[in-house]
Structure 1
Amino acid sequence: MELSLFLGQLLGIYFIVAGVIVILRRKSLIPAVAEFGDNRALILVVALVEFIAGLAIAIAHPIFTLDWKGLITLVGWWMMVEGVLYLMLPHSRMRKFIRMVNKLRWYTLGGALSILIGVYLAGGGFGFW
């Protein structure tokens, strides 16, 4: 299987499922995300895993096109940047940012965006476009 197809399917399904969960469970996610911001060890683990996963995607899939394949590469780069930011930002700024975005409206918007991205990636991965 071509790597683009595999990653489109994998990331597409992940984004769809994650988006639906975020929308349906947004009220219960607010305290969990608030606790995440207080746990430095968990932030470190998430940052390292996210950076490594993003690096793997960016290295294995260097396709810079304006379609679903390019979006896969962009997701990898975004994961790397986010992982580095988790590692580099002072803890006080991280907590301030989390408090700012840890609101119901952001979960609704983020969940919907995740579903749209997931449908686009899965559609490409499963050969619909």
Structure 2
Amino acid sequence: MEPSIFIARTLGVIYLTVGIGLFLFRETYILAYRKILENPGYALLGGFIAIVGGMAMVSYHNLWVSDWRVLVTIVGWIALIKGILLLLIPPYTNLFKGLLQMQKGKGITITAILMGVIFTYLGFFR
């Protein structure tokens, strides 16, 4: 299987699962994310995980092409940069606290579901 397809399928399932979870249990998710942001240990762990995922995508899928596969590359670079920032500048997590308001949580939900639908389509049906 082509790496682009595998990563698109994986991202599709992750984004859809989180998006639907946010839709069904918004308050639970937002409270959990707030707890994560309040604990520096979780932020550092999240940084390590983001670096591993981002480096895997960037190392095996660094395609700057003019088709849908560039989306996978961009997500990989964003994950890598986010992970580096979380480890390098732990107060960086404060930037995310404003996103976790109940009203703004709806935008995150819609974004996650849309990204899930897009990546699921690209990975499974294209």
TM-score, normalization by structure 1: 0.87
User: How far off its partner does 1:3 sit?
Assistant: 1.1
User: How far off its partner does 1:90 sit?
Assistant: 4.3
**1:55 counterpart residue number:** 55
Separation in 2, partners of 1:117, 1:50: 18
Q: How many residues align?
A: 126
Separation in 2, partners of 1:127, 1:34: 36
User: Structure 2 stretches of 5 or more lacking a match?
Assistant: none
**2:36 counterpart residue number:** 36
One-letter identity of the residue aligned with 1:115: I
Divergent runs of 4+, >4 A: none
Contact in 2 for aligned 1:13/1:122 (Cα 8 Å) = yes
User: Structure 1 stretches of 5 or more lacking a match?
Assistant: none
User: How far off its partner does 1:31 sit?
Assistant: 2.2
User: How far off its partner does 1:53 sit?
Assistant: 0.7
Q: CA RMSD in A?
A: 1.6
TM-score, normalization by structure 2: 0.89
Query: Equivalent pairs: percent with the same residue?
Result: 26
Distance 1:28 1:77, change over 3 A: same
**1:106 counterpart residue number:** 104
Contact in 2 for aligned 1:34/1:98 (Cα 8 Å) = no
